[in-house]
């Protein structure tokens, strides 16, 4: 029960620090000229927005982790199996933040970014001995196969770099990457609670990530005041990749590999489709395009907020399937995935239909319908006509030529009240 308090503290501290730090980070980013200038080809915003918002997320995460470590010493809740685990993660985070911030300011090449990502992955592997040790094998008597180091280390590097870039690639709409990272981290948090073998390390880390990203989200949701930039996207992708290896991949079950893949499903599937699409079209894999899921939703006619909400629901559905897979088994997860997929597709089509609805009423049909008069206008009109009839000589309105009628009399007789409403109300008040 005491560990539950540690999780709550970790989440709350990260949220408060990230929320407080975001405006400060925005000012720092503007001074460093880390600003995203919109381009006509891919960007969906119309004005320059500050980058490096990920520093607020990093501040929330790091302060939360350090505070939780200090709190655990004071309370006696030892959740760290080894300081190597947290040391390797923090050193890797320093490297990944450095390259992310540099990219936000100087716009580095894809090769330079890849070199530093590889260095960060090797750092966490060598210091913490973090690696994928088993993989699902349906033909094995125990359902899994233990990997040799020659396969384990390259596969771990590929996983960490892949997820790191996947979060960056999905960061195309206001609040999308932050929201998806929050959902993924909460998914991994609940799975770690359901899987005792994982231990509290993964729970603490994922709680801190969720708190930090949710604290940053109010400043990043549409219309965004600041973007997380490569700093935030690389940090979130790297940290989630490492914690999934530390926790989920160490579980000796037949579904161990499926759980993190589902938890991080949206960015992984979007990145996989992007790589496949670029290979088919004979384009460089690292070349940016407008073929991502969020671009497709925008091209269908949805607004940014509608597209983000749909992708939130899709990410949450995959996360829920991962939780059900952990707790109830594969069959329940598959059934849930099919049902939720149908619901999401139908909902997206419905929202597109509402957005693109141009079924206006034919103006010709409205010609025979008299407009409804406002009750107040009608009462004022009746009072003025009554007072006008009492004050005027008999037949003064009806007698004489039309040319002798003034504008006010003609408007009253014809019922054109709107142009003289102020005059009429003054007359009634007298």
pLDDT at 140 over 70: no
Range 168-180 average pLDDT: 87
Find out whether 60 and 215 touch, Cβ atoms under 8 Å. yes
Of 110-124, 203-217, 285-299, which range is least confident?
Answer: 285-299
Instruction: Give pLDDT, residue 263.
Output: 83
Residues 6+ apart with CB under 8 A from 229: 29, 34, 36, 51, 52, 53, 54, 100, 101, 103, 104
Q: Which of the two residues, 195 and 140, has the higher pLDDT score?
A: 195
Condensed to tens digits (0 to 9), the pLDDT of residues 49-69 reads 888 999 999 999 999 999 888
Find out whether 182 and 217 touch, Cβ atoms under 8 Å. yes
Range 193-210 average pLDDT: 83
Range 418-423 average pLDDT: 52
User: If pLDDT is split at 50, 70 and 90, which confidence band does 397 have?
Assistant: very low
Q: Which of the two residues, 41 and 267, has the higher pLDDT score?
A: 267
Range 414-419 average pLDDT: 50
pTM for the model: 0.75
pLDDT at 238 over 70: yes
pLDDT at 133 over 70: yes
Is it true that the peptide bond before 223 is cis, omega within 30 degrees of 0? yes
Find out whether 420 and 408 touch, Cβ atoms under 8 Å. yes
Instruction: Give pLDDT, residue 169.
Output: 85
Of 8-12, 395-399, 402-406, which range is least confident?
Answer: 395-399
Q: Quick one: tokens of 124? A: 């966490």
pLDDT at 400 over 50: no
Q: What are phi and psi of 330, to 5 degrees?
A: -70, -40
Q: Rounded distance, CA 54 to CA 213, Å?
A: 9
Q: Which of the two residues, 107 and 352, has the higher pLDDT score?
A: 107
Average model confidence (pLDDT) across the chain:
78
Q: Which of the two residues, 136 and 219, has the higher pLDDT score?
A: 219
Range 34-53 average pLDDT: 76
Instruction: Give pLDDT, residue 201.
Output: 81
Look at the chain and count its residues: 430
pLDDT at 416 over 70: no
Angle at 294 between CA 214 and CA 231, to 5 degrees: 45
Q: Rounded distance, CA 57 to CA 73, Å?
A: 25
Helix (H) or strand (E) holding 146: strand 144-146
Q: Give the rounded distance of the alpha carbon of 159 from its chain centre.
A: 22
Range 374-385 average pLDDT: 61
pLDDT at 403 over 50: no
Condensed to tens digits (0 to 9), the pLDDT of residues 309-365 reads 888 988 888 888 888 887 776 677 777 777 777 776 676 666 655 555 545 555 655
Find out whether 167 and 267 touch, Cβ atoms under 8 Å. yes
Of 61-75, 108-122, 384-398, which range is least confident?
Answer: 384-398
Residue 145 carries which DSSP code? Answer: E
Instruction: Give pLDDT, residue 401.
Output: 47
Q: Rounded distance, CA 136 to CA 260, Å?
A: 12
């Amino acid at each position: 029960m005491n560990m539950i308090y540690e999780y709550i503290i970790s989440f709350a501290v990260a949220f408060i620090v990230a929320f407080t730090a975001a405006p400060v980070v925005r000012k720092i980013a503007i001074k460093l000229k880390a600003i995203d200038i919109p381009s006509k080809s891919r960007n969906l915003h119309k004005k320059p927005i500050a980058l490096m918002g990920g520093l607020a997320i990093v501040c929330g995460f790091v302060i939360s982790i350090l505070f939780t470590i200090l709190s655990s010493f004071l309370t006696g809740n030892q959740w760290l199996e080894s300081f190597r685990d947290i040391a390797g993660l923090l050193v890797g985070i320093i490297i990944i933040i450095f390259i992310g911030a540099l990219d936000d300011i100087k716009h580095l090449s894809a090769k330079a970014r890849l070199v530093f990502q590889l260095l960060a992955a090797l750092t966490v592997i060598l210091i913490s001995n973090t690696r994928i040790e088993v993989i699902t094998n349906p033909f094995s008597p125990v359902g899994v196969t233990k990997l040799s180091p020659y396969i384990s280390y390259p596969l771990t590097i590929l996983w960490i770099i892949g997820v790191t870039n996947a979060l960056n690639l999905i960061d195309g709409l206001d609040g999308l990457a932050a929201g998806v990272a929050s959902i993924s981290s909460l998914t991994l948090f609940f799975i770690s609670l359901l899987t005792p073998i994982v231990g509290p390390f993964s729970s603490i880390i994922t709680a801190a990530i969720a708190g930090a990203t949710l604290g940053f989200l109010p400043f990043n949701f549409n219309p965004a005041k600041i973007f997380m930039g490569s700093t935030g996207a690389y940090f979130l992708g790297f940290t989630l990749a490492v914690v999934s290896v530390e926790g989920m991949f160490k579980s000796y079950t037949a579904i161990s590999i499926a759980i993190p893949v589902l938890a991080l499903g949206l960015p992984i599937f979007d990145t996989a489709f992007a790589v496949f699409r670029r290979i088919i079209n004979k384009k460089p894999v690292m070349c940016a395009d407008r073929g991502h899921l969020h671009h497709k939703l925008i091209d269908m006619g949805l607004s940014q907020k509608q597209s983000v909400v749909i992708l939130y629901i899709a990410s949450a559905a995959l996360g829920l399937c991962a939780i059900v897979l952990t707790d109830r088994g594969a069959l329940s997860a598959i059934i849930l995935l099919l049902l939720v997929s149908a619901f999401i597709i139908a909902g997206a089509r419905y929202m597109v239909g509402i957005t693109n609805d141009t079924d206006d009423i034919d103006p010709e049909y409205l010609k025979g319908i008299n407009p409804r008069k406002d009750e107040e206008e009608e009462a004022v009109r009746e009072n003025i006509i009554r007072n006008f009839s009492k004050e005027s000589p008999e037949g003064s309105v009806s007698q004489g030529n039309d040319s002798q009628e003034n504008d006010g009399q003609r408007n009253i007789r014809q019922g054109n009240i709107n142009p003289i409403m102020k005059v009429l109300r003054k007359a009634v008040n007298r």
